[in-house]
Amino acid sequence: MPPSASARHGPIARVVTIGVYEFDLPSFLDALRAHEVGLVVDVRQRRGVRGARYAWANSRRLQQALAEERIAYSHHRELAPTTELRRLQYAADDRNGVGKRSRAVLDHAYVEGYVREVLDRADLDALVAELPAAAATALLCVEADPEACHRSLIAARLTERYGLPVGHVRPLRLSARR
């Protein structure tokens, strides 16, 4: 078992996860500031979001806004689900009568496939080495609910393997439900 992150890399504040949906740019940046995020790790395969409401989350615009806030940005495409895995989740969503934006949990087959095909093969040591010691790191994807997104699987693995504390940043409408 690898040593804890703090034993290998000094103290690490924490990891949080955050999605794009249900945020606008000002509330998204406010949430990052409130959680003292110094690095956003984008774990999306495609770094664009359809529609005017979320145009701010397209890679170039997001990176510019983060740079203005002095928040670093890193893209880890190797942690994104494959197109085939996404299709597997979409089929489960169809069977359950939910849309991508209203999904509350991940399908069991998707989770197994993601862990086996992506997470077990990922070089998480390299990711952990990138984490800033003096600030939180935010794992970014699109889903509002972390339980409906692969970023929660990455976060769980970081806790399991490295002992990193992890929290989930939710839009206000979801925070009120929890």
Structural domain spans, the chain: 5-169
- The parts of the chain modelled with pLDDT lower than 50 are 1, 3-9, 175-178
Q: What is the pLDDT of residues 136-165, one digit of tens each?
A: 999 999 999 999 999 999 999 999 999 999
pLDDT of 1 reads 46
- Please state the length of the chain: 178
pLDDT of 70 reads 97
Name the fold adopted by 5-169: Protein-Tyrosine Phosphatase; Chain A (3.90.190)
pTM of structure: 0.88
Give Cα 106 distance to the centre of its chain.
14
Q: What is the pLDDT of residues 67-84, one digit of tens each?
A: 999 999 999 999 999 999
- CB under 8 A, 24+ apart: contacts of 22-27: 22/144, 22/171, 22/172, 22/173, 22/174, 23/171, 24/53, 24/56, 25/56, 25/65, 27/171, 27/172
